[in-house]
Every structure is written in C-alpha cells, then in structure tokens.
Amino acid sequence: MSEAAPLLEMKGIRKRFPGVLALDGVDLTVQEGEVLALLGENGAGKSTLIKMLGGAHQPDEGEIRINEKPVSISSAKDARDAGIAVIYQEFNLVPRMTVLENLFLGREKTRLGWIDERSEREQAIEWLSRLGLDIDPDECCGDLSVARQQAVEIARALSFDARILVMDEPSAVLTDKEVEKLFGIVKELRENGIGIIYISHRLDEIDEIADRLVVLRDGKRIGTREVTETSRDELIEMMVGRSLEEEFPSRDVNVGEERLRVENLSRGRFVRDVSFSVRAGEIVGFSGLVGAGRTEAMRLIAGADVRDRGIICVDGKEVPATSPRSSIASGICLLSEDRKGEGLVLNGSAVDNFGLPNLRRFSRFGVLDETEEREEFSSYTEELSIRLSSADQRVGDLSGGNQQKVVLAKWLARHADVILFDEPTRGIDVGAKFEIYQLMNRLAAAGKAIVMVSSELPEIMGMSDRIIVMREGRIAGELKNTGDLAPEEVLALAMNENAA
C-alpha cells in the first residue's frame, strides 16, 4: 500500500487564527482502500485539518494533492468536485424532509420542469443498497435513529462519487450493535478503494478499523504509525505528551452519611419505581443499554422533567417536585449528556456561562458585580485547569473537555452536594478524560455524592464504587465493584441474561 502514489496528500499545512497557530507544518497521506485514524487531544488541530478538506478553512501555507495533482478547496462544492466528503458529528440533514429529498437536496432530477421522483427513488434505493441498508426513501429523516441518519449521510457522500471520506467521531452516540454495523460499512467502503480518514477518541475502535494512524498534538504531527505495531500506552503518550501510569486514577474511598435517597421514582414507561441511595464520598455508576432509562432518571432527580411519583431526599430533606430551581436549591446539579444543547450557551463567554446560575450571589441590589464574578471564575479556572485564552472567550470555541469543566465550575460555585454526571467524557480525548476522572475523585473525597451515567463499561468499572444496572426503565440489579467483578456480570443484568 505504501509503495503506491497516495490518493490524498497534505503537505506542510499551516493555519493561523488570531493568537493561535492551529496547524504547524502538518503532513498527511491517505492511500486508496485505506482507513487512516486521525488522533489527538481536543484542540490538537484535527477539526481544523478536516475543515480544510471540506472547504470551510483554507491553509495559509502548504499544499493539498489528490492523485498527485494540486487542488484548491475554498468551498464545499470544491470539496465535492475533488471527490471529498466530510461527515461531521452534527449531521447536515434537514430533519423534516424525507431521505429521498435529503439525498437530492440542491441537485434534484427534473424532467420537463418537474422533479423526476421515480428516477430519484430508483437511484436512492441503489445507493442505500450499496451500504446494505433497508431504509424507506420516503421516511422522514427526523424519525430515523442516529445510526440510520448517519448511514443516510454516508449514502449521500457516495452519491457524489466521493473517493475520500472523512468521518468525525462517527460512533460517539451509537450503540454497540450500531457500531458493528458502521464498521461493516467502513470495511466495505475500504474494499471498494475509498480512502477514509476516521477520527475517534475511542482507542479500542482504532485497533479494529484502522490501518495506520496519525497523531496530532498542539497543531503538529507527532508521528505516523502502523496500527498493528503501536501499543495503547505508546499511543496515549503520543497524544498527551506524557505517560499515563493508569487509565483510571486510584483513590481511597471514605464513605460517610447518606446524602441522596431516591424512592419509587417513576415517569410513564421510561422510569419505573427506581430506588437507590448514594453516600458522601461515593461514586455510584449507572449502567445499561441505550434506552434503559438512565438519563431519564437523572433528569427527574434534577427536576428537568416532572415525575409522576417518587420521593427524592438530600441530607434527609425532601426535594419539592416543582422545577429545576428546587433541585438546584436543594444541592443537586446535573451535567447533562448534551452539554452543548443543555449545559451551555455556546455563543456566550466562559465567564458569563459560569455566572448564569450564580447571578444572585454576584449581584448587589440588582446590579451584577463583575469583579467578584470574574475573581471567583478565575479561582475555578485555576483549580480545574480550564484552558482558555481569556474569561471572555466564546465557550463554543473551547474543546469538549474544557466545556465540561466550565459546566462543572458553575455548579461547584453553587456549592452542590449531589452531582449527576451523565456521559461525562463523551467526545473528550484520553488526556482530558483522565483529568475529569481526577476531578470526580476529588469531589468524592470532599464529601460530595457522585452519580455517573456512562455507556462505556470500562469507565463504569474503572470509576464506580457500586454499579446500578437499569433495564427497561427499572433497576435490574446492583453490584459492589470489587476487584474481581467481571464485565459479563454487568452485561448479564443489562441484557436480562443469567450471569455465568
């Protein structure tokens, strides 16, 4: 493979933004029929690099070649004409339009001034069939699962005769079975000679799907390796610039009095008679398959949704079932799985996001004391190691890990005693994950009650003192996380199977 001329070559790519050198002389090649994993921490330059291939950014220096010919990509149309398709984490589908309409959006087939739906439908079925998909072209995209929407995006890319496909965190919100289906599609595309750039923070996927890998750090290419010749420890060290002695930090558990108690929590068929407790200093993990009711239970505890029945107590005092305000006032905070949509105002500054739930504390006679707000935010910036250019930086421009820290900072400033982490490390690189784990341990050591929902079983087992498994809205069982707990025991409860 390496002896052939590359399908894609990026050479000496540099890109500057005000005050930031985002890419510093990056080289990258992709061969026909190759899956190249592009790895690095948040802020390493991955997004900037792929946006150049998609036409959103142009390099200040360097050259892009396809089949050894220089190309200029200054728009999405230029990218399509060059045979490049980029599938971003946020899909470019119109939810209220059908699959057929999305596939041909902006390039409808017409006959005598009328859209030729019959011809479009035949071609759509052909494209979908190439991916082994049984999707009705007349189905509304908004009614499809995330995995099937993603498949429509891939079919749309193929419809442009793309020879180079860029996939940005394609498995981030997929179930294990959906990931298997995705891998099957990727392998088939590879067999058809399509070159694929695959971005993922899930290192386990790289071993299964990629041929080579490129690691970026601080805008520079740190190295290129064959996947089969690279250990996980070496890969992590390349990404973060230091050795991580262990993936999950150890801690001394000092459990205190009960802080959170939930009794018979219910809402329709989503959450049914859920009861559990968490003590000071504990980290209790919630596991289960997607749709098991974990997120729904956390939202009820946080007051984001209205419970049908059930009792929630913090330090022995019942929390009124009225609104998020009541839960917050009782010392409960939720770090939502959708931190961009529900946890942050992306166009606002980091300090403004920090201050939102704390305006009353920072105000005197209805006037905001910005000096006090900024001083306290500065202390949390230092304590949580939040990396940003200034307190006024737009929070939407921060990396995933730093966004999560801003959300955590605003709740710590509320002196929350019960912290609900829903998918706390989704979309976060391995180095930032370790920092989040360390923060969780520190919070537990300070007497907080921590509840963590995660779809990653290694994370649940690596961080939890106890594991509560949910299935079909109910608690299927509880496991004490001793050193000899096997993953199969958790999975057996989640899938309604007898443990071996």
Phi, psi (deg, nearest 5) at residue 264: 55, 40
CB 137 within 8 A of CB 99: yes
Give DSSP secondary structure letters for 345-401: -TTSBHHHHHHGGGTTTTEETTEE-HHHHHHHHHHHHHHTT---S-TTSBGGGS-HH
The whole-number pLDDT of residue 245 equals: 59
State the average pLDDT over residues 211-239. 89
Q: Which tens digit of pLDDT belongs to each residue from 146-160?
A: 778 888 888 888 788
pLDDT surpassing 90 at residue 430: no
> Which DSSP category does 319 fall into?
P
Least trusted range by pLDDT, from 234-243, 293-302, 346-355: 234-243
pLDDT surpassing 70 at residue 498: no
State the average pLDDT over residues 127-131. 78
Would you kindly state where each structural domain of the chain is located, as residue ranges?
8-240, 256-331+416-500, 346-413
d(CA 380, CA 358): 14
| CATH class of the domain defined by 8-240 | alpha beta
CB 9 within 8 A of CB 64: yes
pLDDT band at 499 (very low <50, low <70, confident <90, very high): very low
Q: Are strands 283-287 and 466-471 parallel, antiparallel or unpaired?
A: parallel
Nearest C-alpha neighbor of 358 from the set 304, 411, 420: 411
CA–CA distance from 249 to each of 202, 442, 464, 482, 484 (Å)? Answer: 18, 11, 12, 16, 18
CB 167 within 8 A of CB 88: no
Give just the sign of the alpha carbon dihedral 176, 177, 178, 180.
positive
List the structure tokens of 170.
């394609």
pLDDT band at 244 (very low <50, low <70, confident <90, very high): low
CB 148 within 8 A of CB 131: no
The whole-number pLDDT of residue 432 equals: 76
Q: What percent of the chain has pLDDT over 90?
A: 42
State the average pLDDT over residues 24-35. 95
State the average pLDDT over residues 138-151. 84
Phi, psi (deg, nearest 5) at residue 288: 145, 165
Query: What SS3 state is found at 317?
Result: strand
pTM of the model: 0.64
The whole-number pLDDT of residue 242 equals: 65
Least trusted range by pLDDT, from 105-114, 294-303, 374-383: 105-114
pLDDT band at 389 (very low <50, low <70, confident <90, very high): confident
CA–CA distance from 446 to each of 280, 305, 401, 439 (Å)? Answer: 8, 29, 22, 11
d(CA 362, CA 410): 12
d(CA 217, CA 239): 6
Q: Are strands 114-115 and 35-39 parallel, antiparallel or unpaired?
A: unpaired
> Which DSSP category does 124 fall into?
H
Query: What SS3 state is found at 83?
Result: coil
pLDDT surpassing 60 at residue 38: yes
Most confident of 56-70, 317-331, 482-496: 56-70
pLDDT band at 500 (very low <50, low <70, confident <90, very high): very low
List the structure tokens of 130.
């190439």
Locus of tokens 């946020």: 90
Nearest C-alpha neighbor of 152 from the set 119, 128, 188, 129: 128
Give DSSP secondary structure letters for 411-447: HHTTT-SEEEEESTTTT--HHHHHHHHHHHHHHHHTT
CB 463 within 8 A of CB 285: yes
Average pLDDT of the chain? 87
Superfamily for 256-331+416-500? P-loop containing nucleotide triphosphate hydrolases (3.40.50.300)
Report CA Rg, the chain: 24
State the average pLDDT over residues 389-416. 86
List the structure tokens of 223.
């190295």
**Residue predicted with more confidence, 51 or 385:** 51
CB 398 within 8 A of CB 345: no
State the average pLDDT over residues 130-158. 83
CA 148 to chain CA centroid, nearest Å: 18
Sheet (strand 474-480) strand order:
332-335, 418-422, 449-453, 283-287, 466-471, 474-480
Cβ-Cβ contacts under 8 Å for 389 (sequence gap 6 or more):
19, 20
CB 148 within 8 A of CB 137: no
Cβ-Cβ contacts under 8 Å for 379 (sequence gap 6 or more):
none
State the average pLDDT over residues 167-179. 76
Least trusted range by pLDDT, from 195-199, 287-291, 296-300: 287-291
Examine domains 8-240 and 256-331+416-500 and report if their fold is the same: yes
Q: Which tens digit of pLDDT belongs to each residue from 4-29?
A: 789 999 999 999 887 678 899 999 99
